[in-house]
Amino acid sequence: MEKKLYIGNLSYNVDDAQLEEAFAAAGKVESAKVIVDKMTGRSRGFGFVEMATEEDAQKAIDTMNGKDLDGRELKVNEARPMTDRPRGDFNSQR
């Protein structure tokens, strides 16, 4: 079963291919995606990696969390489902 990981503190220079290559050392990567700003097309400094198995995902967390990638220390955690994040009406917060 695939396991999705959140990758934080990414350098703005890292792209999808570099992210996938870095995590391939921990196991089979199903997908790697750096999140970009819709308006500027610039990286937002985080991304997601889907590992093929639970074991590969745990190995990736253990080996990649705190590891330097392009001058930045990665923060690697299990990704939370979108439903776990609070949603709000931006107009009601003003």
Overall domain count for the chain: 1
What is the rounded CA–CA span in Å between residue 49 and residue 24? 10
* CATH number reported for the structural domain that contains residue 77 in this entry: 3.30.70.330
34-66 residues labelled b (16+ CB within 10 A) or e (exposed): beeeeeeeebebebebbbeeeebbbbbbeebee
- Measure Cα distances from 24 to 15, 20, 50, 62, 66 in Å: 14, 6, 11, 14, 16
Query: Is 22 contained in some domain?
Result: yes
Is there a domain that residue 77 lies in? yes
Residue 46 near residue 12, CB atoms below 8 Å? no
- Tell me, yes or no, whether 94 lies in a domain: no
| pLDDT single digits (tens) 51-93 | 999 999 999 999 999 999 999 999 999 998 877 656 655 554 4
pLDDT tens digits for 4-46? 999 999 999 999 999 999 999 999 999 999 999 999 999 999 9
